[in-house]
Structure 1
Amino acid sequence: MAIQEKARGENHPDVAISLNNLANLYHEQGQYALAEPLLKRSLAIREKELGENHPDVAKSLNNLAGLYQDQGQYAQAEPLYQCALAIWEKALGAYHPNVVLSLENLVGLYQQTNVVLSLENLVGLYQQTDCAALAGPLEKRAAAIRAIKR
């Protein structure tokens, strides 16, 4: 990485990729204290060099959120996941795999924090991401379940 920083500059997006990759390795090894500053630096480079709404910024946000989630820092993870979701949806469209990944990450986070994920919660998530077509069948299923309970 030192060679890359020297050749391309400390704030080049390729340096951010290397920082992100090394941070992911540390994360997987459970070395969270080593991973966090690398992810934050990668995020800062990407925001500065690519703009705050670039999909690679969302990737950095998502990775930092995952680190926080694995450490039980759920309140720090949630807004990062939500921001990544918003960026990816706007940049890539509501049906892009990265948008689905963000939704899955939020669902996983909510499950870990004992937030009851009813069908209505999922409908809300889909509607926030302009996935109304996906929300419709869930709304019908939720209504059918409510009718059975009465």
Structure 2
Amino acid sequence: MEENEQARKCYKRMLKEAQLTLGNAELGLGRASLRCNDCQESLEHFQAALEIRQRLLGENHPDVAEIFSFLGETYNKMQNYDDALVYLVQAMDIEEETLPPNSLNLAATYDTIGAIYMILNQYDVALIYYEKVLQIRQVALPADHPQIAAIYGSLGSLFESKGDYAKALNYQEKSLEVARKTRAATHNIVANAQDSIRRLKAKIKQ
């Protein structure tokens, strides 16, 4: 009898692992479809992966948050910003509960949410999320990491959109300073910061 119980446990574990593997395959197909710009197919695979992971792992597992993030990214790519925010906020809620406070995955979710609010011209809301991104990256990454240069650039763009050119210039100069330490002079992040600095200086002189 005991051997049969052990066998049952073993087969149940094998079945769960097989189903999780299927979920991973659905996730992989969703990501591949997204890279091929087939957003509708990617949504179908992500939804299938979500159903499997929620059933096997529970509602508040980091791997469930991962699927919510990809769903949000897909809707963002489709310019369906309302649905994108719904899924990204669900991912954020799970990540805030289950991941360390300085998780780079959480920072990435904040960054995407902030970028969507930028598109929606809700700059004050975007600023809240961008500041969270900066706070995490400054703790979790070296001071000269390209992701820190990137968030400085995003903050610069935000303040330029708000019409605060002096603050925007300050952030773009920080972005350039960091980017130059790890990127070639021809790299996009360096070139973008230089272009922004020239543009902002011209606006300030007007």
**Using the alignment, how far apart are the partners of 1:119 and 1:31 within structure 2?**
28
State the partner residue of 1:89.
138
Cα distance, 1:120 vs structure 2: 6.2
Partner residue of 1:29 out of 59, 66, 78: 78
Alpha-carbon distance in structure 2 between the residues aligned to 1:81 and 1:87: 10
Pair member with larger Rg: 2
User: How far 1:119 sits from its partner (Å)?
Assistant: 8.4
Please state how far the C-alpha of 1:62 moved relative to its aligned partner.
0.7
- Alignment TM-score, normalising by the size of structure 2: 0.57
In structure 1, what is the equivalent of residue 110 of structure 2? 61
| CA-to-aligned-CA distance 1:14-58 (integer Å, 9 cap, x gap) | 111111111011112111111111111111111111122211111
TM-score (norm 1): 0.76
Preserved CA contact (<8 Å) 2:160 2:168: no
Q: Find the counterpart in structure 2 of residue 38 from structure 1.
A: 87
Q: Do the aligned residues in 2 keep the contact of 1:68 with 1:74 (CA within 8 Å)?
A: yes
What is aligned with 1:139? none
Deviation at 1:65?
Answer: 0.5
What corresponds to 1:142 in structure 2?
A: none
- Listed as ranges, the gaps of 5+ residues in structure 1 are 135-144
The residue type equivalent to 2:145 in the other structure is H
Q: Which residue number in structure 2 is paired with residue 109 of structure 1?
A: 158
Using a 3 Å threshold, how does the CA distance of structure 1 residues 64 and 120 change in structure 2: closer, same or farther? closer
Percent identity of paired positions between Structure 1 and Structure 2: 27
Q: Distance between the aligned counterparts of 1:109 and 1:60, measured in 2?
A: 18
Matched residue of 1:24: which SS? helix
One-letter amino acid of the counterpart of residue 68, structure 1: Y
SS in structure 2 of the partner of residue 72 of structure 1: coil
- Per mean C-alpha deviation after superposition, the further-off stretch among 27-36 and 111-120 is 111-120
1:114 Cα deviation after fit: 2.0
Partner of 2:198: none
**CA 1:109 to 1:6, structure 2 compared with 1: closer, same or farther past 3 Å?**
same
Aligned to 1:5: 54
Whether the aligned pair in 1 keeps the contact of 2:117 and 2:126 (CA below 8 Å) is yes
Q: Comparing both chains, which one has the higher relative contact order based on Cα–Cα distances under 8 Å and sequence gaps of 6 or more?
A: 1
2:156–2:170 Cα contact (<8 Å) kept: no
Superposition CA RMSD, Å: 2.6
- 1:75 counterpart (107, 124, 147): 124
